[in-house]
Amino acid sequence: MPLTHFDTKGDAHMVDVSDKEFTARVAVAEGHITMAQQTFDIIAQGKAKKGDVLSVARLAGIMGAKKTPELIPLCHPLPITKVAVELMLEPDLPGVRIEATVKTTGQTGVEMEALTAVSTAALTVYDMAKAVDKAMQIGGIRVVLKDGGKSGRYEA
C-alpha cells in the first residue's frame, strides 16, 4: 500500500477526503514520562513550584489536540467533538502515564490529535518539573485504539 501523503510524482500533498463519508471516529493514544523518585514525590504531593503539574498538563494536552493541524503540516482541521486526557501517577516507573481519547464525526481520523495530546501533556510535565529533574524521559507514545472510517477498527 503506497503512502497516502505523496502523489504519483513523490511530492507531499494533503490527502483529498472530499469523497469520504462522515462517520463517527475515535482514537486513543498513550505514553509516559519517567523521572527521579524525588520528582515523582514532588508532583504527587502537589509541591511543584509552577503549580498543579497534572492539571496543567491535562489542559495542555487538550489544547495540543485542538492545535494539531497547525503543528503537523498535512493534517486536516477537524471538528473535534471530545478530547479527554488522563494523567495517572505510576510509582513503579516512577512517573506519569498519559492517555488521550479524541472523538469526531468527520471524513478522516483523529489519531494525530490523540498522539499530539499525549505528547503535549508529557512535554508540559517535563517543562513544569525540569527545574528539579532534567533527566526525565518521555516514551512509549503510540496509538492503542482507532475506530471508524473505511479502515475500521485497530487495537494495539
Of 41, 92, 127, 133, the active-site residue reads 127
User: What mean pLDDT is reported for the chain?
Assistant: 93
The pTM score is 0.92
Q: Among this protein's residues, is 127 annotated catalytic? A: yes
Residue 6: pLDDT above 80? no
pLDDT at 2: 66
Average of per-residue pLDDT across 78-101: 97
Average of per-residue pLDDT across 73-97: 96
Residue 120: pLDDT above 70? yes
How far is residue 115 CA from its own chain's centroid?
A: 3
DSSP characters over 38-78: HHHHHHHTT--TTS-HHHHHHHHHHHHHHTHHHHSTTPPP-
Average of per-residue pLDDT across 148-155: 91
